Structure 1
Amino acid sequence: MPEPRKIIIDTDPGQDDAVAILLALASPELEVLGITAVAGNVPLALTSKNVRKICELAGRPDVAVFEGCVGPLTGELVTAEYVHGATGLDGPDLPEPKMQIQAQGGVDFIVDTLRRAEPESVTIVALGPLTNVAMAFRDAPDCKAGVREIVAMGGGFFEGGNVTPTAEFNIYVDPEAADIVLRSGLPITLLPLDVTHTCLTSRQRVEAFRAIGSIVGDAVADLLDFFERFDEEKYGTDGGPLHDPCVIAWLLQPELFSGRHVNVEVELASRLTRGMTVVDWWRVTERSPNVHYIRYADSEGFFRLLTDRLAKL
């Protein structure tokens, strides 16, 4: 087996973030150097607690967890308790974590880890608003030399938005941070609503997690039972989109996904479209491609991978 891919997970759990973290921790192809929490789905005090709950659920209290930014680069924090519940992880009754938060701040951890790393060796896995990553790049641009790639869940174009008609939540919470990251000049793969909306947690798929017959399988089924109710009502579907685990699945089996290398920019000013990811899918401008934009997924293969890996925890 080749050397595991070194990753930093930046996240704001969130039920789907939780499943993504579990998938990463269940996969020997990935070496999780640390997990940085950011404010997003719920405030930072809860996202950092939720990361630790999930690490302990996975039997991985050894993972280093750091607290990052309490809000976006500008403006007020927007959260999504209406989707994720008051705790961010409503559904199962997970115990309070015993793990401690690391003393070092999340942004400093990202900077120091990248500075110490071999050039182009660390993948940043961004599952929430991009505030922590943008802060690292803005304050310590030299650290970008250690980045192999940024793989993020965010944006949407063909599917529109999920928090405004044009903006996806992670980008909308901190458009300025997303703009900094997209202009970083680094290799970026983006998994937007256009692909995550094809990966739905149908009743059969949720029951497959419960059929694993483990604490993890039961917890994931309970998380998704709660999480999918909002999107089922919103979209009229059997199940809701399972966004963030798509990022980890792409790292593990990129052949399950396809897309294009195109230009993506973030709208910062418009009253109607702030936070929109403007995707030049048809290359009608001369703006240089800066993102590998994923549009299609083998959803059956994705859920098969997810179920198989979670059964190993």
Structure 2
Amino acid sequence: MAVKMIIDTDPGIDDAMAIFYAAAASDIDLLGLTTVFGNVTTDIATRNALRLLEAADLELPVAHGAEAPLELPPFTPSAHVHGDEGFGDIPAVTPKGQPVDEDAADFLCRMAREHKGELVLCPIGPLTNIALAIQRDPEFAQNVARIVIMGGSLNEGGNITPHAEANIYHDPHSADVVFASGAKVVMVGLDVTHRILCTKADFTAIAAQAPELGGMLQEMSVFYLKFYETVGKFDGCSLHDPAAVIACTHPELFETQPVPMRVSCEGETSGATLADPDSQRTPVDVCIGVQSDAVKTLFFKRLSLLP
């Protein structure tokens, strides 16, 4: 049976990779997208989400989400990772579709009620929309089957500061709300995503197999790979967001450890995801190992099915 899924997203190049993967995966029943700030502003994220669905020929709801963190002041996304418009050097295009009237948190609450015990939520940006849904509906955390997040790390350290992974860093208070919620949470963080690398040759190959959408990803990847080179990583880009989507349907490819978690929300460690063994919190299933080759093979196998 296909996994009923909503992806909460801030597209973003690796977000595009994750969404196209979900579009191609027969074991995913994608019910919609919710958008959030992060790689880009929420307005651009909503535009990009609609554009990606149209490119993949999917008619699905997109719900516009939070435009600022739960408690921190708003910030301006940096363009050096994903480009001014989110897709590297690809210029902006106005999609035909429009977001739904509900905001992201209300949409998530309603969908969790309608698909109680079945909905898998996959946030691949800051966790603001999920925290708001938890705060608005006391039953939300129990209505969702799982929340599989791309973010954080247990042992790997950070990628935006020495301590913090970017999605958590951009709204640590929301992440802590999610970890404290009692929901079944799976954390697909840097401990595993740093082990899965995509190279220039990989993107060239997928463009040859899927000229339209694979070609779009290959064009985006030029900018993305250049960024990785500027931080000294010349062997490719990490498969961050697609790994979280794959973990939703193929948990056997990941080794997890149950760990109660909290998030530092101040000082130089702000955004750090920390083990909190003495707390009464429901343990998070933290991914600490991954069958990297199998995940990467599955990712490109599914993308090759795209037009």
Give a deviation string over 1:18-38, Cα, whole Å, max 9, x none. Answer: 110111111121111211001
TM superposition score normalised by structure 2: 0.94
Of residues 60, 64, 72, the one that matches 1:63 is 60
With 293-302 and 175-184 compared, the bigger mean Cα shift is at: 293-302
How many residues align? The count is 305
Out of 29, 32, 42, the residue aligned to residue 30 of structure 2 is: 32
1:85 positional shift: 0.7
Counterparts of 1:145 and 1:287 in 2: how far apart (Å)? 17
Offset at 1:93? 4.9
Distance in 2 separating the partners of 1:153 and 1:52:
21
**1:307 aligned partner:** 300
Structure 1 position 55, deviation (Å): 0.7
AA paired with 2:42? L
Distance 2:240 2:32 in 1: 21
In structure 1, distance between residues paired with 2:179 and 2:57:
35
2:289 matched residue in structure 1: 296
Local SS of the residue matching 1:133: helix
Are the aligned partners of 2:200 and 2:236 in contact in 1 as well (CA < 8 Å)? yes
Q: Secondary structure at the match of 2:231?
A: helix
- Residue type at the aligned position of 2:32: G
Percent identical residues: 34
Structure 1 unmatched ranges of 5 or more: none
**Is this contact kept in 2: 1:40–1:77, CA < 8 A?**
no
Structure 1 CA distance for aligned equivalents of residues 66 and 83 of structure 2: 21
- Range moving further from structure 2, 199-208 or 147-156: 199-208
Corresponding residue of 1:83: 81
- Partners of 1:69 and 1:93 lie apart in 2 by 24
Per the TM alignment, residue 306 of structure 1 is displaced from its structure 2 partner at its CA by 1.3
Change (3 A) 1:288 1:110: closer
Moved more, 92-101 or 226-235: 92-101
Which ranges of structure 2 fall in alignment gaps of 5 or more residues?
none
In 2: Cα distance, 1:243 partner to 1:104 partner:
28
Between the aligned partners of 1:28 and 1:236, the Cα distance in structure 2 is 33
Which one of 103, 106, 109 corresponds to residue 104 of structure 2? 106
Equivalent residue, structure 2, for 1:127 = 124
- 1:33-84 CA-to-partner distances (Å, cap 9, x unmatched) read 2110011111111000110111111111x11111011111112233232211
- Cα deviations by residue, 1:144-163 (Å, 9 ceiling, x for unpaired): 33210100000123221111
Match of 2:6 in 1: 8
TM-score normalised by length of structure 1: 0.92
Deviation string, structure 1 residues 101-122 (Cα, Å, up to 9, x no partner)? 112211111111122333x221
Whether the 8 Å contact between 2:197 and 2:236 is mirrored in structure 1 is: yes
Task: Return structure 1 stretches of 4+ with deviation > 6 angstroms.
Answer: none
For residue 278 of structure 1, what is the aligned residue in structure 2?
274
